[in-house]
Amino acid sequence: MEKKIINLGIFGFGVVGQGLYEVLNRTKGINARIKKICIKDPNKTRPIDSSFFTTDKDEILNDPSIDVVVELINETDAAFDIVSTALRNGKAVVSASKRMIAENMEALYKLQVENKVPFLYEASSCASIPIIRNLEEYYDNDLLNAVEGICNGSTNYILTKIFEEHRSFETALQEAQDLGFAETNPTLDIEGYDSKFKIVILLLHAFGTFVKPEEVFNFGIHHLNDFDIQFARQRGCTVKLIGAVRRENGHVFAYVLPHLIKEHNLLFDVYNEYNGILLESAFTDKQFFVGKGAGGTATGSAVLSDISALLYNYRYEYKKIKQNNQPHFTNNVVLNVYLRYSSPAQVNLEQFESISEKYESPTFRYVVGKINLKDLQTAKWLTDKGVNVLVIE
């Protein structure tokens, strides 16, 4: 992109949109300016001049002077329509919509190839951590074994308050919502869906394998109770919601599950709204990335980084796809877990391959044992609020 100044057309002016506006105005080294912002509610009070705003998406999508479309809205179908239209119109696109990207990954890849335009989405995965670009550039020829870590700042903030400051789950969640880290409806965060969408995106850039979100099992922190917290503390552990992608025996598996983390693990000391990602590879062993995973300016800075990269004609090359040695996706893997329940009728322990520890009391029971991820994925008993599962390292 050879223009001295690039014109931006932005969709959405919520937390991330306003964060982008702030970091763009505080950054002197990037020649980009906002020409128009498309919003849904024209009557809402906003902190910048009303001349920036429109409710007509075509004012951006059909304006030949707009070079880059920046998509920052929460509606999945509308976001895909905006992005796909912009790509077909030959415009470069930057997005932060992890759900939209994860659910349409293959179609979006084909649109980039067919229309020969870049589509960048660093902000969709771990906010301020440049993980996608590292997977694309630094690990393009390295034999990766795993990408895993904390990729949801909201749940990490909640778990930090529970374990470090002894807050209740409800109090910690409310604080996260008040700070803008969690949505008014926190389901996507606390049940692990948000992390799953990010893992689907990272899986493609790490291994070149397309996977649909519904194929990846997710279970969040929404069933965590005081008994589980006490169990973790007695074992010198904390709990972190982990998204994991790992290659084994020519296959790759992925999941999102809460883990019991011991102090030696690098993720143990990732607190509050921060994210932490561990990479394991054949050539470089382990590398660790940490950075803010929630908040307007943290995510806005990742969006701005993508806009800046476009000035240098950067685009994802998807080198792992072109290498044609993508591992096949599977859920056939055995995990070591802690399973808490109240009565035998709530769970099916016959699904465990082995049980190494068992405890019973008048109020709570638990087992520690090995179970196949495929069985967890189909276990109806995990929908019972009185049942919880944690992966044990």
Q: Which helix (H) or strand (E) holds 56?
A: none
Is 240 assigned a catalytic role? no
Q: Which of 238, 277, 257 is nearest to 159 (CA)?
A: 238
CA–CA gap between residue 310 and residue 327 (Å, rounded): 31
Q: Do 94 and 36 meet the contact criterion of CB atoms below 8 Å apart?
A: no
Which amino acid is it at 362?
P
Residue 85 CA, distance from chain mean position: 24
For 39, phi and psi rounded to 5 degrees? -130, 165
DSSP 70: E
User: CA–CA separation, 183 vs 177, rounded Å?
Assistant: 6
CB contact at 8 A, 288 and 150: no
Where does the chain have alpha helices with state H? Answer: 15-26, 58-61, 76-88, 98-103, 105-115, 123-126, 131-137, 153-165, 169-178, 187-190, 193-207, 226-234, 296-310, 319-322, 373-378
Catalytic residue among 198, 240, 292, 320: 198
**How many Å separate Cα 62 from the centre of its chain?**
31
Burial (CB < 10 A; 0-12, 13-18, 19+), residue 134, is: middle
What is the distance between the alpha carbons of residues 128 and 222, in angstroms, rounded to a whole number?
26
| Residue with token string 């992890």 | 98
Q: How many other C-beta atoms can be found within 10 angstroms of the C-beta atom of residue 228?
A: 21
Ramachandran class of 160: left when φ > 0, alpha when ψ lies in -120 to 50, beta otherwise: alpha
Q: Are strands 334-341 and 388-392 parallel, antiparallel or unpaired?
A: antiparallel
The residues that are catalytic are 198
